[in-house]
Amino acid sequence: MFQAKAFAPFEKLASELIVHSSEGDDGSHDIAHVLRVFKNAMRIQALEGGDARVIAAAVLLHDCVAVEKNSPMRSKASVLAAEKASAVLAELDWEGDDIAAVAHAIVTHSFSANVPPETLEAKILQDADRLDAIGMIGAGRCFYIGGRMSSALYDPFDPSGSNRELDDKRFVIDHFQTKLFKLADGFQTKAGRALAAERDQRLRDFLAAFMDEI
């Protein structure tokens, strides 16, 4: 059951926006993901500054349009989410500048969109969301998504991809090298980079242990 108090001090905002936060049945982009990203964002904001209300709204609405990882529309997901978020906030009588700030953060948070964040709030959302893609949570989400996509865990004859082209649509652990290990180098804030370094090492330790067992 949804508990607004988990989003303190933005309980009222969460109550207004959470109904729009996610679509579909993707457990890697559900309310638990939204709450983890919120906690990450508030932790970074406490050190870096920025408009916490804008950040909170952007977190709550950053995945409000669901597009599967294997969809040809995947790169457009954040733009579609920003458009929907803008309409939702306009109905709540938000000021135009604040709506634009939230929309920019949502558009630029996406790895697939490849649009650089220009504001501190956008940088914080991007960092907070990407923190959820690395570390132990990142590993868990990676395997979950692989299951949704009917991917194999690994190539049994060349798990590390030493003598083949990496293919993270066929093999889950290929995604560690094709994307996840690249994320830590792209964090926008000092606080985000410090948190990312810790989680990146956990992810690398996890893969090393996984490879040792196979």
Task: Kindly tell me the sign of the dihedral angle through the C-alpha atoms of 191, 139, 75, 86.
Answer: negative
Q: Where are the domains of the chain?
A: 1-118, 134-213
- Domain range 134-213, CATH architecture: Orthogonal Bundle (1.10)
How close are the terminal C-alpha atoms of the chain, in Å?
39
Query: 133 near 181, Cβ under 8 Å?
Result: no
Residues 6+ apart with CB under 8 A from 10: 52, 53, 56
Which H/E stretch holds residue 159? none
Task: Return the pLDDT at 112.
Answer: 77
Question: Can you state the percent helix, strand and coil of the chain, rounding each to 5?
Answer: 65, 0, 35
Task: Return the pLDDT at 65.
Answer: 86
Rounded to an integer, the average pLDDT of 181-189 is: 95
3-state secondary structure of 152: strand
Express each pLDDT in 193-204 by its tens digit: 999 999 999 999
Task: Return the pLDDT at 75.
Answer: 65
Express each pLDDT in 116-169 by its tens digit: 999 999 999 999 999 999 999 999 999 999 998 899 999 999 999 999 999 999
Write down the pTM of the prediction.
0.91
- String of DSSP letters for 6-53: GGTT-HHHHHHHGGGS--TT-TTSSHHHHHHHHHHHHHHHHHH---HH
Express each pLDDT in 171-183 by its tens digit: 999 999 999 999 9
What's the burial of 62, exposed, middle or buried (CB within 10 Å: 0-12/13-18/19+)?
Answer: buried
